[in-house]
């Protein structure tokens, strides 16, 4: 698994752009996303639009309905909090198993991913940090050596992608995230399975002030887009 940020394909760029418009309310719940309209708006052919919509449907951001096409899915704040709670538990399980099962080669890959996140943090590039953060977490999923668990964690991680990316725009969140990564790496490398699980759970769960910050960020972006 590479720890660099490869250039995004056009369909991947479209996924991120459409995700952000959904999260910020520009594409509101229940809105129909027409392939041709999107192709005209983004000045591309329908092929990358179709690929992006398929990806967004698999991630649960949109629903594909007979005779209506792609419809923006509705996610309430309560539902969002519930998904983050489940994500935190899945990540904790991955961390617990990784601390017991990680191989020396996987340790080296995890450390390389951590250093790549450090470079993005130092460059103050939240989008690059987010993509490298995904690689970091993927290494932990794989190091659990539980294929089913890794699949479930990856699926929910993809579902929460735009919200986790948005979190990194909160002031000082990148620095905090990186410090939490350091604690996670230390516990996994030293075989502290319960410490790894606890640290990952606290790293991912969005409650209290962190959830209020996320909701405030969403509302600020929605207000900006409406202005």
Question: Quick one: average pLDDT of 25-29?
Answer: 81
> Distance (Å, rounded) from C-alpha 9 to C-alpha 12?
5
Residue 96, token pair as written in the block = 């617990």
CB atoms under 10 Å from CB of 199, counted, come to 23
**Which residues have CB under 8 Å from 214's CB, separation 6+?**
80, 163, 166, 167, 170, 206
CB 6 within 8 A of CB 12: no
Structural class in CATH, domain 10-72: mainly alpha
pLDDT digits (tens, 9 = 90+) for 83-123: 889 999 999 999 999 999 999 999 999 999 999 999 999 99
Beta bridge partners of 64: 70
**Would you put residue 171 in left (φ > 0), alpha (ψ -120 to 50) or beta?**
beta
Give pTM, 2 decimals.
0.75
Domain locations along the chain: 10-72, 77-226
The fraction of the chain above a pLDDT of 70, given in percent, is 86
Q: What's the gap between Cα 126 and its chain centre? A: 12
Please check whether the two domains, 10-72 and 77-226, share a CATH topology.
no
pLDDT digits (tens, 9 = 90+) for 124-177: 988 889 889 999 999 999 999 999 999 999 989 888 887 787 777 777 888 999
CA angle 152–88–105, rounded 5-degree value: 65
Closest CA to 117 of 105, 127, 102: 127
Architecture field, domain 77-226:
Up-down Bundle (1.20)
> Distance (Å, rounded) from C-alpha 155 to C-alpha 87?
10
> Distance (Å, rounded) from C-alpha 187 to C-alpha 158?
25
Q: Coil, strand, or helix at residue 32?
A: strand
CB 99 within 8 A of CB 188: yes
CB atoms under 10 Å from CB of 141, counted, come to 24
The mean pLDDT of the chain is 86
């Amino acid at each position: 698994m590479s720890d660099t940020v490869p250039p995004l394909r056009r369909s991947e760029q479209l996924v991120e752009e459409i995700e952000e418009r959904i999260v910020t309310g520009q594409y509101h719940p229940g809105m129909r996303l027409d392939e041709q309209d999107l192709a005209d708006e983004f000045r591309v052919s329908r092929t990358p639009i179709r690929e992006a919509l398929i990806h967004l449907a698999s991630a649960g951001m949109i629903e594909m309905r007979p005779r209506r096409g792609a419809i923006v899915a509705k996610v309430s704040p309560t539902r969002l909090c519930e998904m983050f709670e489940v994500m935190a538990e899945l990540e904790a399980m991955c961390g617990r198993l990784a601390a017991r099962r990680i191989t020396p080669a996987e340790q080296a890959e995890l450390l390389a991913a951590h250093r790549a996140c450090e470079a993005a943090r130092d460059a103050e590039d939240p989008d690059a940090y987010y993509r490298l953060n995904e690689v970091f977490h993927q290494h932990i999923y794989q190091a659990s050596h539980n294929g089913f668990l890794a699949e479930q964690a990856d699926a929910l991680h993809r579902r929460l992608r735009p919200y986790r990316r948005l979190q990194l725009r909160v002031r000082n969140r990148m620095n905090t995230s990186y410090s939490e990564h350091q604690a996670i790496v230390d516990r996994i490398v030293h075989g502290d399975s319960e410490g790894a699980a606890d640290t990952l759970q606290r790293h991912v769960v969005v409650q209290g002030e962190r959830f209020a910050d996320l909701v405030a960020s969403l509302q600020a972006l929605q207000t900006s887009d409406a202005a």
